[in-house]
Amino acid sequence: MYNFQAMVLDKVNDQTKLEIKQLSIDDLPEGEVTIRVAYSSVNFKDGAVAILNKFVTSYPIVPGIDLAGTVIDSKDERFTTGDEVIVTSYELGTGYFGGFSEIARVPAEWVVPLPKGLSLKESMILGTAGFTAALAVQRLEDNGLEPSHGPVLVAGATGGVGSIAVNILAKKGYDVVASTGKLNQEQYLKGLGAKQIIHRDEVVDNDSKPMREEKWAGAIDPVGGKTLQYILSTLKYGASVATCGFTGGMEVSTTVFPHISRGVNWLGIDSVQYPMKKRLEIWNRLGDDLKPTALNEDMVNEISLKELPEVLAAILEGKVRGRTLVKL
């Protein structure tokens, strides 16, 4: 019987507690594939689960919406012992024991074979953030975006999704304008490929104008709120914004004018229930043409389970740059 450590969130008498616990294989939920986890990663949603107790559908829960590791047992013929795999999204880390655990057991339908071109560590530097960024880039290009069309805005550019989006777009030849509240990170963002760095206050709708001067050939927005309102009012004719987060708020007040006067597109990016066939295509591209060039120490901070609670709180406060890996 395996005994292992995991970060467990439990709730008793309306009081929640987050702590490292010793678990056994029998504590894991049902599932066809059991995985020895090598790495997980820390996302904004993980902080919302572990600190704010949002998105949790049952207790106790092991948070962690991402994991990568090696199969140690499988009841599904698609996977065998020794296979290197990735699991992200679905109910992982919200309604099903997730990645902040040395051992995980999951439904086979959630498992992605590690793509050629990626190591387990690289796959978690990417994780849900990288998958989301790549999906956003693909959706923008599916809707007509090309490098010759002009500058592309990436909001929240020092965050996980933002950092990877900046790097992918720059690699593909786009002129990337990076918006951030951390202007002391200019060197970091230029290292990722951003051509211009602007303060996030420059892309906030403070006067509720439905239309402004056309600026962006496209945009990736993990922020939401008044930042998204501003982006919609400043997209070029026929351009699109891919919305994939809400770090700046979930409420959006806008009008129909950008859509009917400029034909702009507001694209919703969902990484949770994205169909597996298309999910595999995105992951394979992340190991190939969409693989970022900056999967290195500048973007990555590696921590242990013991350090995890502090980072989970910090990511909610916007104090985490790039990607944080949990080494299991």
What is the pLDDT averaged over residues 34-62?
A: 95
Q: What is the pTM of this model?
A: 0.93
Percent of the chain with pLDDT over 90: 88
Per-residue pLDDT tens over the stretch 115-161: 999 999 999 999 999 999 999 999 999 999 999 999 999 999 999 99
Compute the mean pLDDT over every residue in the chain, rounded to the nearest whole number: 95
- Confidence tier at 208 by pLDDT (50, 70, 90): confident
- Quick: pLDDT tens for 268-318: 999 999 999 999 999 999 999 999 998 877 789 999 999 999 999 999 998
pLDDT of residue 299: 83
How long a stretch of residues is the chain?
Answer: 328
Q: Each residue of 59-70: pLDDT tens digit?
A: 999 999 999 999
